[in-house]
Structure 1
């Protein structure tokens, strides 16, 4: 069980804002702040290269922390600067051929779908959207019916940017494996919010960020690559870190997932990522999930009691992301009203998940995303603010 008072005492931001925007960027802990600021101070005092050398063991330990988070080996982890970079490195490394198919879901994030469309134009692949089931999540039965020997990739967003649902990733992974297709999981909104085990999920590739539910600094992310698929991938970018210049006309790729990394990165931010992962593991991901889910359920319940407020979440399993509208009040106006009261939310717009929001006839949505440091009193505060008009 989460010690909420301790969690809040270790989170400076809760003294200044009521933060319901963890799906955008969660509030960092004092430990993460001290780690990042401390290293930046060291760089200023002795130099960037020298500070990195002094932190070499701690930097190496970040791989072990990430591996424990995902239940894999450290050499299956590449540390990069964002979830977008991690996902792009994985996707654009796949050697698509004309006639290949990509299967995805209706709640796919815009950046991913744009990459599918670009690859369709460049490589002659076909992009097919798997229908939803009656609860709004990807239909595993429909997926199985659509899988054939032309499907090169099943690509799935685990937790969409809006809508609150958690897609049945492990069932998707099992179906993809049986069909011999690669499985790429966008776990940008799920890592740090719920337990993640790449063996149970059955994914070949997984991308995520640090800034959301992991509570790490912006400019951090990671990519998991299953060893069995590593040599079938062609990293789209290489430098002297991802590969070794072995002879004038030859280079050799780094062993393991680190071939997807590049030489330059923010050392302080990476150390902060390691500190954030260790803290999340210390709290316990099952306990984090249980508290986040309970707070989100409470928020949905309270919002539904407000006249004119409509909650737009779906899925058999619902996470810490809550989306809603208030009749007659634009989402941006709601965000501005709440911001004036030091309550942070975000706005999700149709282009972010175009297929889903178009199919459901939705416009801009207010997105309130909770974390374990939030409280029922803060839930009451945001609802009171929405009712006071």
Structure 2
């Protein structure tokens, strides 16, 4: 029992081949390919978040500025676009897929269904709160309050996701928060939204509540990937986007009909300042934009973390003002400082991921040539 068993010569030769420099080189190439694929996916999801958020917010503001008054409709378009994801769901399903036995139990399906139901309801409430805030607040104030979701997310990530706050990540969060706070010191010339003091307070509280709920949803999504789903596939991202938005759509449609707001939609479309076609196109492209945003957010949570997904969202809050500055030449100095701080914060966060990548690379590096004989002997002894 205690004696080491001698491996046949053929087995030892096989082990030498497996640990040969050629195989080590192949392993390193696979690792590098996987690394580049991760970065490519992360960039793609980030673009979805940035583009979807910018276009969705601008079209939402355009809807209210040109005669749109239905908060239910403004909420519905944020989630109703999920059917465009069905083709992606079909093409991301493996032809010969076999579900893991651990994921076919009734408990797994019950937990997953409960998660989709809870987050779907939260998403419906969150979208309604954001719609009220966007209707009652100037875009500058709305953007500033939305930035508070970063602080909420940091809190939830610490307790729910065991987020490790390194100095670089803390530096990033501080800089991004300051960058957003600077918005309060400048007046956006394109922001003509005027509202009463009562509606302003309602909009402020609703946007703040929406930011907290959204941050909670991101942390819950990361927790679900870790504890329930446990599958690193694009199909998981698509499924989560579809089911969450489908449940939220059902909840919002019930509210739309229960409130009687649906009766006013025809008149609203008729009186829309830009015309009926523009009214419909606004709603359609708003729905498409928010679906792209949803996929990007879930993808970043899946690939990195809920906190990183929120960091990209905060960067996206600045895009509208940045492009206005580029194309109109408007600049009051504060905008430039805020942009520098935002970029600095983003680079700080990415540098932490670079350091983490180096550590992982060192851990996953293969054995050196000097260790080859020792590995063969170790396997022989364990045999």
TM exceeds 0.5?
A: no
Structure with greater strand percent = 1
Normalising by structure 1, report the TM-score.
0.26
Instruction: Give the TM-score, by structure 2 length.
Output: 0.26
Larger RCO, structure (CA 8 Å, separation 6 or more): 2
